Structures are given as structure tokens and as C-alpha cells.
């Protein structure tokens, strides 16, 4: 099982979701005690480790490390923590989603090639019970018909596609709003 954690380091096995790996700043509550920022899992599916060299006319020239840095910057601005990961394995993606239960306040996922095939990833997302935002760099609806149907959308609160890697930044901003709504409810 190969996965790619932050800073592009390849790992043979990723640790289960633990404390936030980015934007670890703690904030002080009104009582002065440290508060852990809500954790957003940003999970990327197959071939997204190839961003930057993969069909740049469609996916652009930003690398996955660039996308992670963008996500970290926006999360930091909003007082959120992120755990940013990429895998080429469907089972690993399912395991990471399951590990979000009780740990992550929300999941942002670019399921990539598993968008159109994975009932397993959809079921895992439905089971976790946190807000999910699905992101695609390209506008899948302007592309081949086989890319149009997403199983993942069934589990998603919202979908962002066609806005390039900026879609990840928009997803983090939207997730901050969803988490705030949850906290108010």
C-alpha cells in the first residue's frame, strides 16, 4: 500500500489520522485554555500525484505539493487544520475515510478515477457522517460522458469542478462555513 503524505514524502504505510499535521496553531478560548482547530481531511485519489506533469492542458501545471501548500494557507487563515493525503489505492481511500469518524470535522475529496466507479468510497463517506465536499480540477461534465456520473456526489454536501486547483481553496472556505453551521446547530 503506497500513499503520499504531505510534502510529497512517499510512505509505505500511513499512520491513522492523528493530530492535525498542518496549521497546528492552537487558539485560546475565552477561558484562556488551548483549543484544537477543527481537522479537515483533504483526500486525493489516483494519479493526482502526477499533477504538474499529467496532461497539463487539462489539469494545469501546479503539483500536488503546490495544492497542499494552497490548502494549508487557506486553512491557516480560517483557523482550521488539514490532513492532506493522496493514494492510488481504493482500499486505502476507504480506510482513510473510515478513520475520519470522530476525528475530522469534514472531508474534502478529489476521488479522481474512483469518482465514477467506487461504491465502496461512497459507502464509506455516507457512513462517516461529516460534511463532504467533492472537488474536481476539470469540469467533468464537459469531458467524456463516462466521467459525468459520480457515485461520490451521492455522499457530498457540495461539488466543485472546473475551477482548476483553486477549487480546493474554495472547498476549504465552504467547509469552514459548514462546520460553523454545525457548531451553531
d(CA 9, CA 158): 30
CB 46 to ligand DHK: min, Å: 7
x/- mask, ligand DHK, residues 119-148, rule CB under 6 A, reads -----------------xxx-x------x-
Establish whether 141 is a catalytic residue.
no
Q: Is residue 136 annotated as part of the catalytic site, yes or no?
A: yes
Establish if 173 lies at the interface with ligand DHK (CB under 6 A). no
Interacting residues with ligand DHK between 97 and 116 (CB under 6 A): 110, 112-113, 115
Q: For residue 87, state whether it binds ligand DHK (rule: CB under 6 A).
A: no
Contact 53, 14 (CB under 8 A): no
Shortest reach from residue 114's CB to ligand DHK, in Å: 8
Contacting residues for 160 by C-beta, under 8 A, at least 6 apart: 133, 134, 135, 136, 167, 170, 171, 174
Site for ligand DHK in 46-65 (CB under 6 A): 47
Q: Which is nearer to ligand DHK, 147 or 173 (CB)?
A: 147
Q: Which is nearer to ligand DHK, 26 or 61 (CB)?
A: 61
Give the C-alpha separation, 131 to 40, whole Å: 10
19 class by beta-carbon count within 10 Å (0-12 exposed, 13-18 middle, 19+ buried): exposed
Nearest to 83 by CA among 47, 31, 37, 52: 37
- Provide the residue count of the chain: 185
- Residues lying near ligand DHK in the complex (CB under 6 A) are found at 47, 110, 112-113, 115, 136-138, 140, 147
Catalytic residues: 59, 136
Amino acid at each position: 500500500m503506497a500513499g503520499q503524505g504531505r510534502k510529497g514524502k512517499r510512505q509505505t504505510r500511513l499512520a491513522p489520522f492523528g493530530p492535525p499535521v498542518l496549521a497546528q496553531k492552537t487558539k485560546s478560548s475565552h477561558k484562556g485554555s488551548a483549543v484544537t482547530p477543527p481537522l479537515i481531511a483533504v483526500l486525493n485519489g489516483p494519479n493526482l500525484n502526477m499533477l504538474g506533469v499529467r496532461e497539463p492542458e487539462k489539469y494545469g501545471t501546479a503539483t500536488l505539493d503546490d495544492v497542499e501548500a494552497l490548502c494549508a494557507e487557506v486553512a491557516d487563515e480560517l483557523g482550521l487544520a488539514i490532513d492532506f493525503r493522496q493514494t492510488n489505492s481504493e482500499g486505502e481511500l476507504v480506510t482513510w475515510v473510515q478513520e475520519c469518524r470522530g476525528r475530522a470535522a469534514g472531508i474534502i475529496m478529489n476521488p479522481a478515477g474512483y469518482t465514477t466507479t467506487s461504491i465502496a468510497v461512497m459507502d464509506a463517506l455516507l457512513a462517516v457522517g461529516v460534511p463532504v465536499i467533492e472537488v474536481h480540477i476539470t469540469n467533468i461534465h464537459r469531458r467524456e460522458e463516462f466521467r459525468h456520473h459520480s457515485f461520490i456526489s451521492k455522499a457530498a454536501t457540495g461539488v466543485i469542478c472546473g475551477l482548476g486547483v483553486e477549487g480546493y481553496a474554495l472547498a476549504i472556505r465552504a467547509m469552514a462555513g459548514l462546520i460553523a453551521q454545525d457548531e451553531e446547530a
